[in-house]
Chains A and B, each alone.
Chain A
């Protein structure tokens, strides 16, 4: 579990290096802001203010623009997220096959609402418009694994194996 105290630690050095590398890679590329933010989020798990400021300086663009882009897209996060990201599909096919009940079941089990993270940082609960696995509706994704044909109980049970 990563420390949330906000002070510098040893692994910050490695993260800084990775970020610098990503910024060097996109130095001469047009439209680099979004790919850099994506890589930065890969490295840090979310986008801390200092990182966004650093990216703005590196690309010579106003911080307000970076912040504007980050808050526009659903994929970017300003707060730390859990180790396991649960994304419950809210697509049409899932909706008519009971996705909202699955969401309520998981939400009740974890005790967090939409976009909430459990105290122990084990899970973050999110929804997604459509995962494109409509044949298996209702569906959820935990990290990169897709789970289909869910019931509220089955969904809650599936989460056990993600530490």
Chain B
């Protein structure tokens, strides 16, 4: 027996070809088919090694190998720790576990030492020797690596006491950062595949659909369509062949929750898809993953191979008679493929353009067959709903938005990272209590939610409850859950232009409103940002946004005006300042900026003169300098270097 998933002795007959219906339960609680204390002990030992008990004298080091920590150097950290442990003769005694993303990317690379759950942040390879000597051998904390709250200056010893985590409700992310995503046994030890087992042996497909309906789960990809209802439609649809498709084409700039789930807990998505397959009567599924996520694709490949090897995916799963096969399709770089019908067209090998709906994919999807298409996060919720019941899930969240939602909190905020909270928390709590507020003492201006389909909300809406319906009524949208915080130095017209640049270049060109509308709207916004706008541009923008919203073919076009609509609604004064006063209040639109040197404050030190890349600054030593506006490229390098605050931007 090499790991938890193997047989304990020859009495166990489970293989992928001759599966046993008690397989998953046996691995956690077994053996079930025979009584043998030695076998039971073997299982208990493996389980104990995966999650160390609080009083265990063993130690285990968890190192995050998500994309964030990886680029901060967690790979080098693992290597250095291995060497250091070997040098101290601890290589067999202390296990290093590579995990998925902990969500606190700002503080990476992250290290957790179990069982005490000591939480070290920004660990460098030069810190390894001290951690081994002081903590792993000496049993003392390395104080300087503990997390310090920037606001209260208190240190947190364990990750659970870090304010960033303490206010969260980590349901979908509960395994991310705590299990090895490349080990099926780690997932099963955390009750993985118990939901699938319960669905297959305790429920009919109709009951599974009912359970998901009871949970109140809504699609996490953006629009928030009730998942149970969608499954019901696919189940009722007539067809000899049906498909389950997972939309992992996470293209919204500023959102990376799907990537973290796929990298940190891939089996949760596979289990959710298998449960869906059983409920709707499909035996085949596809995962459509962005090509920009190579690590996610690699982890999924490993997860599918292991699941098939041990018989939790494939033919006749656990002798239930239900078969389910999964394939990965790597996207080829087109944002519009996140739209469901475009995604299906792309899997079929065509240009990924949306189709007219109806017919909806539930009736005519992949290759014309009924298809159930859900987002990564939606599928990752499903195993827990089956395990704990729909009523349990429905006890969290608000009346119409149940459960939790993961947000990617980024931009001008102290604690960037992934945040999972119960639906209905206020924006203020997310940004200030969990996110730690705005860095550098700057003032909060707006939060952009929902990516290119969403909107910007101003500070008077900070106490808005975050759920599907209140966001939509405020002119934003849940979208995939990107939250980009903006401070007083962010220009709202520039942000609207930024999103339109994105949607204009990603518009597939099939329907006229989107193809032409995005181009015209972008032209107007660019004009305003350059100080060439006219007052009637605001009315024209308003009209075009309504036309595009009402007439575009797919979700991309229908929602792409939202960034303009919401900024016009809440920040119209900034548009007017750009047009009438030729001034950017945030100081972000370079075409409208002028840099001048205040002659009273300038000491003539010459620092700006040397740092100017355009040689636009002249002046004698110890005499006030001047900037030649014609030569100035408005890069701002003079302002960052000046010690006397003599350079003014306006």
Contact = CB atoms under 8 A, between A and B. Distances in A.
A93 B254 contact: yes
Interface in B523-566: none
Contacts of B330: 35, 38
A14 interface: no
A102 interface: no
Interface string B329-367: 111111100000000001111111000000000000001
A132 B67 contact: yes
B253 A136 contact: no
Contacts of A139: 71
B334 A74 contact: yes
Contact of B251 (A90, A97, A130): A130
A31 B508 CA distance: 20
Interface residues of B, number: 54
Nearest to B105: A135
Contacts of B451: 92
A90 B498 CA distance: 9
B571 interface: no
Interface in B480-502: 482, 484, 486, 490, 495, 498-499, 502
Contact of A132 (B70, B255, B352, B486): B255
Contacts of B350: 33, 65, 69
Contacts, number: 133
Given A133-B71, A133-B256, A92 B411 contact: yes
Interface stretch (B286-294, B470-478, B573-581): B286-294
Contacts of B255: 130, 132
Contacts of A93: 253-254, 410-411, 416, 484
Contacts of B291: 38, 75
B487 to A, nearest CB: 9
Interface residues on A, range: 35 or more
Given A75-B332, A130-B255, A133-B67, A31 B348 contact: yes
A13 interface: no
A122 interface: no
B412 interface: yes
Given A74-B334, A92-B484, A93-B254, A129 B502 contact: yes
Contact of A148 (B68, B252, B411, B484): B68
Contact of A91 (B67, B254, B334): B254
Contacts of B416: 93, 134-135, 137
A87 to B, nearest CB: 8
B228 interface: no
Contacts of A31: 329, 347-349
B72 interface: yes
B271 interface: no
B506 interface: yes
A152 to B, nearest CB: 9
Contacts of B256: 130, 132-134
Contacts of B108: 135-136
B332 A135 contact: no
B241 to A, nearest CB: 12
Given A34-B346, A93-B484, A135 B333 contact: no
Contacts of A73: 331-334, 352
A78 interface: no
A135 B106 contact: yes
B448 interface: yes
Contacts of B482: 92, 134
A134 B413 CA distance: 12
A96 B71 contact: no
A68 B332 contact: no
Contacts of A32: 349
Given A73-B332, A90-B502, 19 more contacts: A30-B348, A31-B349, A38-B332, A68-B351, A69-B349, A73-B352, A92-B410, A92-B448, A93-B484, A130-B253, A131-B67, A132-B255, A133-B71, A134-B105, A134-B482, A136-B68, A145-B71, A147-B71, A148-B72
Interface of A: 30-35, 37-38, 65, 68-69, 72-76, 90-93, 95-97, 101, 128-137, 139, 144-148
9 contacts: A30-B367, A31-B329, A31-B348, A73-B332, A92-B253, A93-B416, A97-B411, A136-B68, A139-B71
